[in-house]
């Protein structure tokens, strides 16, 4: 197949180099995507805490996500989970006060 061992060695080295470069590019894409997803999650988490911190203690946040295609548009659907502990006495709730 190869007439010269140098050509074989160069071909193998180029093949290995190509694989390394392509895997590095894929890793960078995955890392960039991970950073992007993490930033979105942190913004949503911050909003949830800001909107609910007077009534609830929020802890043990976790999330999952999936990509969605809505027509021609692409989006990301997040599910965010947290343990919510009511810190206001139930009788102080505006809902309960309206019932009394």
pTM of structure: 0.60
Q: Is 66 helix (H, G, I), strand (E, B) or coil?
A: strand
Query: What's the rounded Cα separation, in Å, for the pair 47 and 59?
Result: 14
Interval 25-71: pLDDT, tens: 555 556 788 888 899 889 889 999 998 888 889 999 999 888 888 78
Tens-digit pLDDT profile for residues 1-33: 445 555 556 666 666 666 656 556 555 556 788
pLDDT value for 2: 45
Query: How confident is the prediction for the chain on average, in pLDDT?
Result: 78
Contact 60, 80 (CB under 8 A): no
Q: Is the pLDDT of residue 86 over 60?
A: yes
């Amino acid at each position: 197949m190869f007439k010269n061992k140098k050509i074989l060695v160069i071909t193998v080295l180029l093949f290995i180099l190509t694989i390394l470069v392509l895997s590095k590019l894929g890793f960078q894409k995955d890392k960039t995507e991970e950073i992007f997803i993490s930033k979105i999650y942190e913004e949503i988490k911050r909003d949830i805490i800001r909107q609910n911190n007077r009534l609830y203690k929020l802890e043990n946040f976790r999330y999952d996500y999936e990509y969605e295609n809505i027509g021609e548009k692409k989006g990301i659907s997040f599910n965010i989970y947290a343990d919510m502990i009511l810190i206001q006495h139930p009788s102080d709730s505006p809902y309960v006060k309206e019932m009394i």
